[in-house]
Amino acid sequence: MKFLQATGAVLLSYAVAAVLLFGGPLHAIGFLTLWNDRLALLSWPLLLVFGLATGLVCAFLGVRFGAKKHYAPAFFVFFSIICSTIIVGVYTEHKRSEAIEKFNPDIATRASFFKSLRSAPRDFQFFLHGAALKNCTPYAWSYQRMAFYELPPNVAVNVLPTSWIEECQIKRTR
């Protein structure tokens, strides 16, 4: 019976953490497997290890302070996902801030890393992780490149703030 409770707790803790951070239970698995090349930070797997270690410490502390031992794997899974994602997210935000500062746009906007996790990848829609204007040329942020790339005007008119489009007179080319 304890095995079933422990297994159920692990599955539930995974599902809750994955839905909270990634928007769905399969997205977390997708980011670790199918989409693991979509974040161009070479060090992110190492940061993931720190998150796993933190999850292990949390599981140990949970048992140490009164949780039943058969729930330790659930604590580990939940806190590993949460801690790993937060550590990678904070580091990614830091590196993106450095890249934006170096790019030196006239104006920029960005979605948080955590909003991007929940909203992308969506093959049927374009999610704007961040945008910038430099000399009235529109750019979008790519986590895969960890840099801005130039946005074609046909896309820019659909995703940039209206005030930017009007100010720079960005028009469709076709």
* Contact between 116 and 22 (Cβ < 8 Å): no
Decide: helix, strand or coil at residue 169: coil
Model pLDDT, residue 43: 72
pLDDT of res. 40: 66
pLDDT per residue over 79-128, tens digit each?
A: 999 998 898 889 889 999 999 999 999 999 999 988 888 886 665 556 78
Burial status of residue 109 (CB atoms within 10 A of its CB: 0-12, 13-18, 19 or more)? middle
Give strand ranges (E) for 22-157: 107-110, 130-134, 137-142, 147-150
Give the residue ranges of the chain where pLDDT is below 50.
none
What phi and psi, each to the nearest 5 degrees, are found at residue 105?
-75, 165
Please tell me the predicted confidence (pLDDT) of residue 163: 92
> What pLDDT does residue 60 have?
92
Residue 115: partners with Cβ closer than 8 Å, 6 or more residues away: none
Strand order from edge to edge, sheet including 130-134? 107-110, 130-134, 137-142, 147-150
